[in-house]
Protein backbone atom coordinates (compact mmCIF):
# COMPACT_ATOMS: atom_id res chain seq x y z
CA UNK A 1 0.00 0.00 0.00
CA UNK A 2 1.46 3.35 -0.96
CA UNK A 3 2.23 6.06 1.58
CA UNK A 4 -0.60 8.31 0.42
CA UNK A 5 -3.23 5.66 1.17
CA UNK A 6 -1.63 4.86 4.53
CA UNK A 7 -1.77 8.55 5.39
CA UNK A 8 -5.38 8.77 4.20
CA UNK A 9 -6.35 5.79 6.38
CA UNK A 10 -4.66 7.42 9.38
CA UNK A 11 -6.40 10.73 8.78
CA UNK A 12 -9.70 8.96 8.30
CA UNK A 13 -9.36 6.97 11.52
CA UNK A 14 -8.33 10.02 13.54
CA UNK A 15 -11.25 12.01 12.15
CA UNK A 16 -13.66 9.15 12.82
CA UNK A 17 -12.56 8.74 16.44
CA UNK A 18 -12.70 12.50 16.99
CA UNK A 19 -16.22 12.69 15.59
CA UNK A 20 -17.44 9.76 17.69
CA UNK A 21 -17.56 11.95 20.79
CA UNK A 22 -19.18 15.01 19.21
CA UNK A 23 -22.78 16.14 19.12
CA UNK A 24 -22.89 15.54 15.37
CA UNK A 25 -22.06 11.83 15.63
CA UNK A 26 -25.62 10.70 14.83
CA UNK A 27 -25.48 12.36 11.41
CA UNK A 28 -21.96 11.14 10.68
CA UNK A 29 -22.44 7.51 11.77
CA UNK A 30 -24.71 6.50 8.89
CA UNK A 31 -22.42 8.09 6.32
CA UNK A 32 -19.38 6.31 7.73
CA UNK A 33 -21.29 3.03 7.84
CA UNK A 34 -22.25 3.50 4.19
CA UNK A 35 -18.57 4.01 3.32
CA UNK A 36 -17.53 0.79 5.05
CA UNK A 37 -20.44 -1.31 3.80
CA UNK A 38 -19.73 -0.08 0.24
CA UNK A 39 -23.25 -0.77 -0.98
CA UNK A 40 -23.43 -4.36 0.29
CA UNK A 41 -27.02 -4.91 1.34
CA UNK A 42 -27.58 -5.36 5.06
CA UNK A 43 -23.99 -4.71 6.03
CA UNK A 44 -24.51 -1.04 6.93
CA UNK A 45 -26.49 -1.99 10.04
CA UNK A 46 -23.71 -4.30 11.21
CA UNK A 47 -21.13 -1.55 10.66
CA UNK A 48 -23.29 0.94 12.58
CA UNK A 49 -23.41 -1.50 15.50
CA UNK A 50 -19.61 -1.82 15.41
CA UNK A 51 -19.26 1.96 15.29
CA UNK A 52 -21.54 2.32 18.31
CA UNK A 53 -19.56 -0.31 20.19
CA UNK A 54 -16.33 1.56 19.42
CA UNK A 55 -17.97 4.81 20.48
CA UNK A 56 -18.95 3.30 23.84
CA UNK A 57 -15.37 2.06 24.33
CA UNK A 58 -14.04 5.49 23.43
CA UNK A 59 -16.39 7.33 25.80
CA UNK A 60 -15.41 4.95 28.62
CA UNK A 61 -11.71 5.36 27.79
CA UNK A 62 -11.97 9.14 27.88
CA UNK A 63 -13.89 9.07 31.15
CA UNK A 64 -11.16 6.89 32.66
CA UNK A 65 -8.44 8.96 30.96
CA UNK A 66 -7.18 5.73 29.40
CA UNK A 67 -5.11 6.91 26.43
CA UNK A 68 -4.13 3.35 25.49
CA UNK A 69 -7.75 2.27 25.08
CA UNK A 70 -8.44 5.38 23.00
CA UNK A 71 -5.43 4.58 20.82
CA UNK A 72 -6.71 1.01 20.41
CA UNK A 73 -10.04 2.26 19.04
CA UNK A 74 -8.21 4.55 16.61
CA UNK A 75 -5.88 1.72 15.52
CA UNK A 76 -8.81 -0.65 14.97
CA UNK A 77 -10.50 1.77 12.57
CA UNK A 78 -7.22 2.70 10.88
CA UNK A 79 -6.65 -0.98 10.02
CA UNK A 80 -10.22 -1.28 8.81
CA UNK A 81 -9.82 1.81 6.60
CA UNK A 82 -6.58 0.48 5.18
CA UNK A 83 -8.26 -2.81 4.28
CA UNK A 84 -11.17 -1.00 2.65
CA UNK A 85 -8.78 1.17 0.62
CA UNK A 86 -6.77 -1.87 -0.46
CA UNK A 87 -9.85 -3.82 -1.49
CA UNK A 88 -11.44 -1.08 -3.57
CA UNK A 89 -9.45 1.53 -5.50
CA UNK A 90 -12.50 3.83 -5.72
CA UNK A 91 -12.78 3.92 -1.92
CA UNK A 92 -9.91 6.43 -1.67
CA UNK A 93 -11.81 9.06 -3.66
CA UNK A 94 -14.95 8.43 -1.61
CA UNK A 95 -13.04 8.70 1.66
CA UNK A 96 -11.38 11.95 0.56
CA UNK A 97 -14.77 13.40 -0.37
CA UNK A 98 -16.24 12.32 2.97
CA UNK A 99 -13.33 13.80 4.92
CA UNK A 100 -13.59 17.06 2.98
CA UNK A 101 -17.19 17.32 4.15
CA UNK A 102 -16.53 16.28 7.74
CA UNK A 103 -13.30 18.09 8.53
CA UNK A 104 -13.49 21.73 9.51
CA UNK A 105 -12.08 24.14 6.98
CA UNK A 106 -8.43 25.03 7.38
CA UNK A 107 -7.95 28.37 9.09
CA UNK A 108 -6.99 31.29 6.87
CA UNK A 109 -3.21 31.68 7.31
CA UNK A 110 -3.47 35.38 6.45
CA UNK A 111 -5.94 36.06 9.25
CA UNK A 112 -4.34 37.49 12.35
CA UNK A 113 -4.91 36.25 15.82
CA UNK A 114 -5.78 38.30 18.86
CA UNK A 115 -4.73 37.68 22.42
CA UNK A 116 -5.95 40.18 25.00
CA UNK A 117 -4.57 40.42 28.52
CA UNK A 118 -5.57 42.73 31.32
CA UNK A 119 -3.12 42.93 34.20
CA UNK A 120 -2.19 45.20 37.03
CA UNK A 121 -4.95 44.66 39.53
CA UNK A 122 -8.71 44.70 39.74
CA UNK A 123 -10.66 46.52 37.08
CA UNK A 124 -13.66 48.39 38.57
CA UNK A 125 -15.22 49.48 35.33
CA UNK A 126 -15.81 48.55 31.77
CA UNK A 127 -12.74 47.51 29.83
CA UNK A 128 -12.75 47.77 26.04
CA UNK A 129 -9.94 46.41 23.93
CA UNK A 130 -10.24 46.97 20.23
CA UNK A 131 -8.41 48.03 17.13
CA UNK A 132 -10.92 50.75 16.26
CA UNK A 133 -13.84 52.07 18.26
CA UNK A 134 -16.64 54.16 16.82
CA UNK A 135 -19.38 55.87 18.85
CA UNK A 136 -19.84 53.95 22.09
CA UNK A 137 -22.36 54.69 24.82
CA UNK A 138 -21.82 52.77 28.02
CA UNK A 139 -24.26 52.83 30.88
CA UNK A 140 -27.21 55.18 31.14
CA UNK A 141 -27.51 57.19 27.92
CA UNK A 142 -29.55 59.97 29.62
CA UNK A 143 -26.51 61.49 31.32
Instruction: Using a cut of 0.85, tell me whether the model's pTM lies above it.
Output: no
Contact 47, 81 (CB under 8 A): no
Q: Residue 66 burial by CB count (10 A; 0-12/13-18/19+): exposed, middle or buried?
A: middle
| DSSP code at position 31 | H
| DSSP code at position 38 | T
Contact 26, 4 (CB under 8 A): no
Per-residue pLDDT tens for 8-41?
999 999 999 999 998 888 888 988 998 888 767 7
Report d(CA 58, CA 49) in Å as an integer.
14
**3-class SS at 138?**
coil
Of the candidates 140, 131, 128, the one whose C-alpha atom is nearest the C-alpha of residue 112 is: 131
Residue 58: Cβ within 10 Å count: 21
Per-residue pLDDT tens for 63-85?
999 999 999 999 999 999 999 99
Amino acid sequence: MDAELVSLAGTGATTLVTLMVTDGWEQVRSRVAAFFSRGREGEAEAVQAELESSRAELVAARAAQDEDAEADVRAEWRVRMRRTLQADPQAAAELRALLDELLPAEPDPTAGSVHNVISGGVQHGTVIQAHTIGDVNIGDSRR
